């Protein structure tokens, strides 16, 4: 038994990285008949076993960007061709309405677009992603954002603690709780009963676990317990983002920044359904059938929020924000010529770095940079390649956050 999984990549990096590459490559054309098989996608990519491409393809499908999955679940028949791959091999388009929006935004970001309209649209896209990220427990479909909202009602932000830092530590504890079956069951049972969740699990990188309440979690922060010294640190990173960022890019932070009203309302709607003994209306967007076309995510979410005037107007505002960013992206792309390029930089100035950690943060002087570093660039440090996640200007230096490239 396990809780939900989240994309191991920020929303903006997802749509400007793997999703864009797949859309322009393997998902852009019909392939030879020999690839019309249950593993055709993996065969074209060159990855037969479980790995990064299978994970990314699953994430892209689960977020509603594709009409059907291009990979089979583990329980599928050996000869069953995934519905999405059937579309590709029938020379049909595989993208949903949401997928086309994400593609325009991702393409503009890849080409270097940097406008407030596009940034706002990424946050709007994160709202729609959040409303699909959930899990099944004893017949109940539960949004991850809802159970997180439920948890932070008991884990209130302590005075003097930065809210993003606090949310990172709370989410670490929640994801650690999800890793242990009995603790996971206790937490979700409490959520379903409407009871507060006052105890979570903290598991360090050596698999040492302890139960923590809000006070004990604050003590972990006070004593300097590292966010990297936990089991599965990336879950929290990609859910919340970097606490040192002005605008954290995690899925929850990005989506909640755009529309706290919709995320809060989704929690209320889900709670009302549970309390009434009814199935969550978000089931239709959480569940993604592998053997057929998924429903129109934007249409289904619009129906859910149509019941009240304030949420209907807020949903329309989020959609307008998304479409304004798409229009801005298309206008930007119309002015561009030539192919986009990925820059590779060599950080010769860096003398010390945690070579073990998957995520690193380091400072470099602006004078040492041949060009201003940006998200998505590759930086090579001591012969190891990292993908730049964030860049901050601090006086005469750039502070760069990056993730090791496997």
The string of DSSP letters for 83-132 reads: HHHHHHHTT---B-HHHHHHHHHHHHHHTT---HHHHHHHHHHHHHHHTT
Q: Is residue 354 part of a domain?
A: yes
Q: Is residue 71 part of a domain?
A: no
Q: Is residue 36 part of a domain?
A: no
Residue 344 binned pLDDT confidence (cut-offs 50, 70, 90): low
CATH of the domain at 384: 2.40.10
Question: How many whole angstroms separate alpha carbon 193 and alpha carbon 362?
Answer: 46
Residue 33 binned pLDDT confidence (cut-offs 50, 70, 90): very high
Contact 230, 172 (CB under 8 A): yes
Q: Is residue 372 part of a domain?
A: yes
Q: Is residue 367 part of a domain?
A: yes
Q: For residue 168, which of 221, 208, 212 has the smallest C-alpha distance?
A: 221
pLDDT of residue 403: 86
Q: Is residue 399 part of a domain?
A: yes
pLDDT of residue 118: 96
Question: How many whole angstroms separate alpha carbon 162 and alpha carbon 158?
Answer: 8
pLDDT of residue 167: 97
Q: How many structural domains comprise the chain?
A: 1
On the question of pLDDT at 133 being above 60, the answer is yes
Mean pLDDT, all residues of the chain: 89
* CA dihedral sign of residues 56, 294, 110, 43: positive
Specify the DSSP element, H or E, that contains 402.
strand 397-404
Q: Is residue 329 part of a domain?
A: no
Domain limits at 371? 344-404
Phi-psi region of 383 (alpha: psi -120 to 50; beta: other; left: phi over 0): left
pLDDT digits (tens, 9 = 90+) for 154-203: 999 999 999 999 999 999 999 999 998 899 999 999 999 999 999 999 99
Q: How far apart are the first and last CA of the chain?
A: 28
pTM over 0.85: no
Q: Is residue 364 part of a domain?
A: yes
* CA dihedral sign of residues 284, 235, 116, 23: negative
């Amino acid at each position: 038994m396990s809780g939900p999984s989240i994309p191991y990549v920020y929303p903006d990096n997802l749509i400007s990285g793997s999703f864009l590459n797949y859309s322009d490559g393997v998902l852009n054309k019909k392939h030879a008949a020999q690839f019309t098989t249950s593993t055709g996608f993996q065969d074209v990519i060159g990855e037969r076993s479980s790995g990064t491409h299978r994970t990314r393809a699953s994430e892209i499908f689960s977020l509603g960007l594709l009409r059907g999955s291009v990979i089979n679940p583990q329980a599928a028949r050996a000869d069953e061709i995934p519905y999405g791959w059937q579309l590709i091999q029938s020379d049909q388009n595989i993208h949903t309405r949401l997928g086309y929006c994400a593609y325009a935004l991702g393409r503009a970001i890849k080409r270097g677009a940097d406008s407030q309209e596009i940034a706002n649209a990424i946050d709007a896209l994160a709202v729609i992603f959040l409303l699909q990220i959930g899990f099944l427990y004893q017949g109940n479909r539960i949004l991850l954002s809802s159970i997180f909202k439920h948890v932070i009602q008991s884990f209130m932000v302590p005075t003097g603690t930065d809210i993003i830092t606090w949310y990172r530590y709370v989410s670490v504890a929640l994801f650690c709780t999800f890793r242990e079956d009995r603790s996971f069951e206790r937490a979700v049972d409490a959520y379903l009963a409407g009871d507060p969740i006052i105890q979570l699990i903290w598991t360090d990188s050596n698999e040492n676990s302890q139960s923590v309440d809000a006070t004990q979690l604050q003590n972990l922060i006070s004593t300097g317990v590292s966010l990297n010294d936990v089991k599965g640190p990336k879950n929290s990173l990609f859910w919340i983002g970097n606490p040192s960022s002005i605008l954290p890019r995690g899925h929850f932070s990005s989506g909640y920044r755009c529309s706290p009203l919709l995320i809060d309302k989704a929690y209320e709607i889900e709670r009302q359904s549970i309390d009434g003994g009814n199935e969550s209306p978000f089931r239709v967007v959480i569940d993604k059938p592998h053997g057929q076309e998924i429903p129109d995510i934007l249409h289904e979410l619009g129906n859910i929020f149509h019941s009240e005037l304030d949420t209907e107007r807020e949903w329309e505002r989020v959609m307008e924000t998304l479409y304004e960013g798409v229009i801005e992206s298309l206008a930007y792309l119309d002015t561009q010529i030539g192919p986009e390029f990925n820059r590779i930089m060599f950080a010769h100035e860096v003398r010390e770095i945690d070579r073990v950690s998957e995520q690193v943060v380091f400072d470099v002087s602006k004078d040492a940079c041949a060009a201003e570093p940006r998200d998505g660039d590759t930086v090579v440090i001591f012969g190891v390649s990292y993908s730049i996640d964030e860049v901050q200007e601090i006086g005469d230096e750039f502070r760069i956050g990056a993730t090791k490239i496997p």
